[in-house]
A and B are shown apart, each in its own frame.
Chain A
């Protein structure tokens, strides 16, 4: 019991620090790939504290509640991961975190915010089936939805679910909102949707969304690490490698349109995951 409390506290405090640092390294590496010098590694933290100190301009009173539930559901999903709870439930809670942000963006009258929210729904439509198939594949292999059973399983999951892992890597780009799938909130402003989903959030609210983004990153990297557990350190190294791959993809890709994304994700993502799971059934 007391162990769980300590683990939860470490996760809640440590995850945003590591996540923020990773985003700082991401910005630095991106700058180097573009032949620029780049901001300091601590830049995401400077941005975060600056946003906390801004005047709060809320468009409506309910907006803050949606931002807070965006944050709290992400923290809840992270806790479920570190406490080795139900993987299926984790996915649902994680999805609810994104849905809170979508409702928050929908609650204002700005067309940029609304189109951004609709695009985010399209993104969910693309990646949720793949995530559910991943959970299903894990259940097929280990016979349980619990994360504990993945860690107890004698072999790393990657041996039985290589294609599901590939599909998960594919949807990771969508989930992190990186190029070529960065159309719900373009990572660099000055584009057709200004900042899409986050256009109408400012000051503290934007800081909290940024904080949630760090938690999201840690959850996703944790899920990658699960495929290679045990030993866990191999998983963590592979997760960091996957994040580096995302940075490279982010820098070499132009943005695609949402119909293209849905077609490609359902074909490649759902296709490969399904092939893998059907293979599991056919295996003697």
Chain B
């Protein structure tokens, strides 16, 4: 584990995306930032800007309107990035899964790395999920490097 990887694990900046959630999970996500739970002790900062974020925290199920927005925000985040889906809706669509306008969980649109079940999950569970997901950064960074290598080789071959 190098310096870069330690830094990645110790400073995950999150962006919180409310994707048609009922606000139950959102309140619990925000509760994790309060003095009571204080996620900043793990270096987690809520940045609100996809270009600065490392971890996307998605709450709620996806419908055709929000799918486009979710994909757009996800694409703006620089690699290596993680996605954490919060709540029952974040996993499967929850009680809204059978609705005519609901596609399902965020994993129907973007690759999700970790799920935190619950309706809503407790702040402790969210922090637990976030810290558990951080272990995936190493593999993600490797994948990013290989992707860049392949792209460079492809560009070379074309030239």
Contact = CB atoms under 8 A, between A and B. Distances in A.
Interface in B1-38: 3-4, 6-8, 10-11, 35, 38
Interface residues of B, number: 28
A203 B54 CA distance: 10
Nearest to A186: B48
Contact of A49 (B3, B47, B48, B78): B3
Contact of B40 (A36, A53, A201): A36
Given A47-B11, A53-B141, A195-B52, A189 B43 contact: no
Interface in A1-54: 27, 31, 34-40, 43, 45-50, 52-54
Contact of B7 (A36, A47, A198): A47
Contact of A57 (B10, B43, B78): B78
A56 interface: yes
Given A40-B10, A56-B78, A46 B43 contact: yes
A206 interface: yes
A46 B78 contact: no
Given A46-B6, A47-B7, A39 B49 contact: no
A55 B144 contact: yes
A202 B52 contact: yes
Q: What 6 pairs across the A-B complex have the smallest Cβ distances?
A: A190-B48, A49-B7, A189-B48, A55-B79, A202-B51, A55-B78
Interface of B: 3-4, 6-8, 10-11, 35, 38, 40-43, 45-49, 51-52, 54, 76, 78-80, 141, 144, 148
26 contacts: A27-B40, A36-B40, A36-B41, A37-B40, A37-B41, A38-B38, A39-B41, A40-B10, A40-B41, A43-B11, A46-B10, A49-B4, A50-B10, A50-B11, A53-B80, A54-B80, A55-B144, A55-B148, A56-B78, A57-B78, A190-B46, A191-B48, A199-B49, A199-B51, A202-B51, A202-B52
